[in-house]
Structure 1
Amino acid sequence: MKAVRLHQYGQSPLVEEVAEPTVSGPWDVIVDVGAAGLCRTDLHIIEGQWDPIQHPSLPYILGHENAGWVREVGSAVHNVKVGDTVIMHPLTSCGLCPACRVGQDSHCENATFPGINVNGGMAGQLLTNARAVVKLDDGLEPRDVAALADAGLTAYHAVRKAAGDLFPGTHAVVIGAGGLGHIGIQALAAITSATITVVDRSEEALELARQLGAHHTVLSFNDDQVEQQVLDITGGGAHVVFDFVGEKSAELLAPKLLRNRGSHYVIGYGGAVNLPTIDIISREINVIGNLVGTYNDLVELMTLTSQGRVTLHTAVYPLDAVNDAIADLEAGRLVGRGILVP
C-alpha cells in the first residue's frame, strides 16, 4: 500500500510503497483509511520535537487523525464489523490501567499513539484496536470528520472541561481561529452560554469565526492593543482563555486577558508559559493543560457533528501531495484543516 513515511527529522516525508498491516491480536481492527488529517503536530514531529517524549523508530508512517471503513477485525471484536464507517480515537488504550479504568484514555499507561510512536494513518490502511474505534452515524463521511479525531477532540475536550464555568454572563476568549480554534468556537457555541471573543492575525479566519458563533473578534497586530480591546469587550478580562496557538507570544498574551480567578487553558504548544508566581497567587488564576480527549469526548463530538452543530472546514489533498499540504500549513495558507485522501 502507499504510505507517507518519515525517514529523518528535519527532512520532508516520502510517499512510498509498504506492506499492509495484519491482524495479530483478538482486539485488533484494520481500517481502510478514507481520510487522514494534517496537523501542526505533524510539523513538530518532522522537526523532531516529539522524539524525546515518544521515541518512535524511524522510518514510520505519519498520521494521527484518521477515519475510514473497517476492513478486518480480531476474534474478540464485537463493537464494529467489516464495512462500518469509523473514526479512530488517536490512542489505542489497554482498558486495564488506572487511567483507563476512569475513562482517561489519553493517559493510558500502555497506549500506543498511531502516527506519533507507531505507524499512523497517512496510508491505505491503519492498524488500531477495538477500544479506539467510534462507529459513525449514516451520512458522515471520513473526509468530513477525520481531523476531528485529534484537532476536534482536543478542542472539544478543553471546552468540555471548562463548560461548568461558562454559564450565562461569562466571557470566553479564543486565541487562534485555525484548525483547532474554529472547532473550539463551535463547541463553545454548542455547549456553553458564554460570550465568545476570538483573537487571530487573519481577517479571513476572523470572518469564519463570526460565521461559527463568535460574538466579538479582535484582529491581532499588537499585543498591547489586543489586551486593551479584550479587556474592554469582557469588562475586565475573560473568565476562561483558550490558547489554541501556544507559541509566537500567544502563550504570553493569554494570561493578560484573564480577570482575577480566571483560567488559562493551554491547548496549542511550542512556546513556554512564563508567569510570576506572585501573579498566580495574588490573582488566583489557573493554568490548565489539555491533552487530546477521552473516548466519550469523541463520542459526544461525533453526536454534535451528526446534528450539524460542529462542522470541519477543510482543504483536501491527494496523499501524493502531502508535502504541498505541509508547505501550505507552514505558510499559513490553510484556513481550517488539511485532509489527505489515499
Structure 2
Amino acid sequence: MRAVRLHAYGEAPRLDEVPEPTVTRPHDVVVEVGGAGLCRTDVHIRDGWFAPAVPTELPLTLGHETTGWVREIGPAVENVAVGDAVICHPQQSCGTCPACRIGDDMRCAAGLAFNGLTRPGGFAELLGTTDRAVVRLPDSLPPAAVAPHADAGLTVMHVVRKAVRLLGPGTRVVVVGVGGLGHIAVQCLRALSAAEVIAVDPDPEARDLALACGAHHAVAAEKAGAEVAELTGGAGAEAVIDFVGEGDAPASSLAMVRAAGTYFVVGYGGELRVPTFALVLPEISVVGNAVGTHDDLRELVALAASGGVAVRTRSYPLEAFADAIADLEAGRMHGRAVLVP
C-alpha cells in the first residue's frame, strides 16, 4: 500500500510502498482510511521537535487524525464490525491500567502508542489500530469530512469541557487563534456554554470564519488587549484559550484574563514568562491541555452528529501531501487539510 513516511528529521516526507497492516492480536482493527487530517503537529514531528522527548524509529508513517471503514477485526472485537465507519483516537491505550480505568487514555501506563508519532499513522491507505481506539460514526458523518476531529476536535473538546465549568451566564471567554482548532472551539463553546465568545486573530479571513462559526465578537490580535478590556468593562475574561502558544500570544493571552480567571494553554512552541506575584495576587490559574480522552471523542461525535459543530476542510489526494503541507506552512489554510487516499 502507499504511505507518506518520514525518513529523516528536517527532510520532506516521501510517498512509499509499504506492507499492509494485518490482524495479529485479538483486539486488533484494520481501518481502510477514508480521510487523514493534516495537523501542524505533523510538521513539528517532521522538524524533530518531539525527538528529544519521544523516541521514534524512522522511517515513520505520519498522520494522527484518521477516519475510515473497518476492513478487518480480531476475534475478540465486539464494538465494531467489518464495514463500519469509524473515527480513530490517536492513542492506542491498554484499557486495563489505573489511568485507562478512569478514562485518562493519554496517561496509559503502557506508554505512548500514538499514531504518526510512535507507531504508523493514517497518511496511508490502511491503518492498524485497536478496538479501544475506535468510535463508530453515524451515517450522517462522512469519514473524510470529520477526520480532523480525531485530534483537532478532540483537543478542543478536552479544553472546552474544562472551561465550561467556569462559564455561566454573563461570563466571557476569549479564543486566541481561529485556525484549525480555534474555529472548532468557537462552535463547541457556543454549543456547551452560555458565555460570550470573543475571537482573536490577526487575519481578517480568520475573524470572518470566527463570526460565521458563532463568535459574538472577532477582534484583531494587535488590538485585542484594548478591545477585550472594553468588552469586559476592564475586568478581563473568565477564561482565555490560547491555540497559538508562541510569539506574543502567551503574554497577551494572560493579560486578558480577569482576577480568579484561567488561562488555558493549547498551542505550544513559545514561552510564558510572568512574575509569580502577577499570578498569586489575582489568583490566576494556568492550565495546560493536550489530546483529549476517548470520552471526549465520543461526546464530540455526538455533538457533530447533532449539527452542533462542523469542521471546515480542504481535501487533497494522498499523493498531494506536499501541497497540503506547503499550504499549511504558508498560512493558506483556513480550517484543516484532509488527505484522501
In which range does the TM-score fall when normalised by the shorter chain? over 0.9
Aligned residue identity for 1:150: D
Alignment of 1:106-117 (within 5 A): 106-110=106-110, 111-117=112-118
Residue in 1 aligned with 2:189? Answer: 188
Aligned residue identity for 1:43: V
1:292 matched to 2:306? The reply is no
For the residue of structure 1 that corresponds to 2:324, the secondary structure is helix
Query: How many equivalent pairs are there?
Result: 339
Aligned residue identity for 1:78: E
Residue in 2 aligned with 1:319? Answer: 318
Q: TM-score, normalised by structure 2?
A: 0.98
Residue in 2 aligned with 1:214? Answer: 215
Cα deviation, 1:230-261, whole Å, max 9, x if unaligned, reads 11112220100000111121112111001101
What CA RMSD, in Å, does the superposition of the two structures yield over aligned residues? 0.8
Identity of aligned residues (%): 53
Residue in 2 aligned with 1:36? Answer: 36
CA distance in 1, matches of 2:167, 2:4: 41
For the residue of structure 2 that corresponds to 1:131, the secondary structure is helix
Cα deviation, 1:123-174, whole Å, max 9, x if unaligned, reads 0000110100000111211111100000000011100111111010000000
Residue in 2 aligned with 1:336? Answer: 335
Aligned residue identity for 1:281: V
CA distance in 2, matches of 1:139, 1:124: 23
Structure 2's unaligned 5+ residue stretches are none
Residue in 1 aligned with 2:120? Answer: 119
Residue in 2 aligned with 1:276? Answer: 275
CA distance in 1, matches of 2:146, 2:126: 17
CA distance in 1, matches of 2:224, 2:32: 45
For the residue of structure 1 that corresponds to 2:297, the secondary structure is helix
For the residue of structure 2 that corresponds to 1:51, the secondary structure is coil
CA distance in 2, matches of 1:273, 1:68: 39
Residue in 1 aligned with 2:164? Answer: 163
CA distance in 2, matches of 1:231, 1:317: 41
Residue in 2 aligned with 1:228? Answer: 226
Shift of 1:43: 0.9
Residue in 1 aligned with 2:306? Answer: 307
Aligned residue identity for 1:147: P
Shift of 1:299: 0.6
Shift of 1:317: 0.6
CA distance in 1, matches of 2:82, 2:54: 31
Residue in 1 aligned with 2:74? Answer: 74
CA distance in 2, matches of 1:27, 1:252: 46
For the residue of structure 1 that corresponds to 2:281, the secondary structure is helix
CA distance in 1, matches of 2:225, 2:324: 33
CA distance in 2, matches of 1:333, 1:155: 21
Residue in 2 aligned with 1:16? Answer: 16
CA distance in 1, matches of 2:323, 2:232: 40
Residue in 1 aligned with 2:133? Answer: 132
Q: TM-score, normalised by structure 1?
A: 0.98
Aligned residue identity for 1:232: E
Residue in 1 aligned with 2:93? Answer: 93
Alignment of 1:45-64 (within 5 A): 45-64=45-64
The list of structure 1 runs, each at least 4 consecutive aligned residues, that deviate by more than 6 angstroms after superposition, is none
CA distance in 1, matches of 2:140, 2:282: 48
CA distance in 2, matches of 1:238, 1:109: 37
